[in-house]
Amino acid sequence: MGKYIPSKSSWVAEQVELYESSLGVKGTTLKDTGLPVIIVTHRGRKTGAIRKIPLMKVVDGENYILVASMGGAPKHPGWYHNLKAQSNVEIRDKAKVYKMKVREVMGSLEKQRLWAIAVAVYPPYQEYQDKTDRNIPVFIAEANS
Ligand code: F42
């Protein structure tokens, strides 16, 4: 097991800390929007360290949809590269923790369907896509059985 290295971004690291230390009771929404957030625990592809990131909670049945939007930034977030390199993750959704496997959604029909679900839950994703040249990646996380 590698050690946990918190995000360099303090508001992100603080949300993870509050969410995890309260076992999913506190810090479970995006700022004051009331929209639910999950924590994705994964491994850094270069450091091998444990990384934890909050993401919007978007579901498709029992699966989670992870959108690597990073506010429409020109580059993919670090976690995108980590998940491409190592697909086993742990997802905390409030008090529940699931072991899951992620894959980037490449098929255009599947991606369109999942993107529509994500934008319905969190409309700013579309603004982020409109302002970046990147094609914002989408992962699906499925039970790791
Ligand atoms: N980001 C999203 O992309 N989508 C969301 O839906 C979303 C929702 C959200 C809700 C609440 C909240 O608090 C944050 C939210 N974020 C969302 C932001 C998200 O949690 C991430 O902070 C953001 O996407 C940036 O991801 P990042 O992995 O680039 O993290 C930055 C801040 C960071 O800590 N970068 C590290 C650094 O040192 O620069 C890199 C960490 C890392 O993973 N390093 C790897 C390693 O080996 O350890 C190597 C990575 C590489 O590039 O190869």
Q: Is the CB of 44 under 6 A from ligand 1?
A: yes
**Which residue has the least CA distance to atom 50 on ligand 1?**
78
Question: What residue ranges do the domains of the chain occupy?
Answer: 10-143
The pLDDT of residue 12 is 96
**Which residue has the least CA distance to atom 23 on ligand 1?**
70
Residue 145 pLDDT more than 90?
no
CATH no., domain 10-143: 2.30.110.10
Confidence band (pLDDT; 50, 70, 90) for 1? low
Q: How far is the CA of 40 from the centre of ligand 1 (A)?
A: 10
Phi, psi of 9, deg, nearest 5: -85, 115
Phi, psi of 121, deg, nearest 5: -75, -40
Mode of pairing for the β-strands spanning 37-43 and 50-56? antiparallel
Residue 71, SS3 per DSSP:
helix
**Which residue has the least CA distance to atom 13 on ligand 1?**
12
Mean pLDDT of 28-49: 96
In the Cβ-directed half-sphere of 45, how many Cα atoms lie within 13 Å? 11
Q: What percent of the chain has pLDDT over 70?
A: 99
Distant-in-sequence, close-in-space partners of 100: CB < 8 Å, separation ≥ 6: 64, 88, 89, 90, 91, 141, 142, 143, 144
Question: pLDDT of 49-94, one tens digit each?
Answer: 999 999 999 999 999 999 999 999 999 999 999 999 999 999 999 9
Confidence band (pLDDT; 50, 70, 90) for 144? confident
Question: Model pTM greater than 0.95?
Answer: yes
Q: How far is the CA of 55 from the centre of ligand 1 (A)?
A: 9
The pLDDT of residue 32 is 85
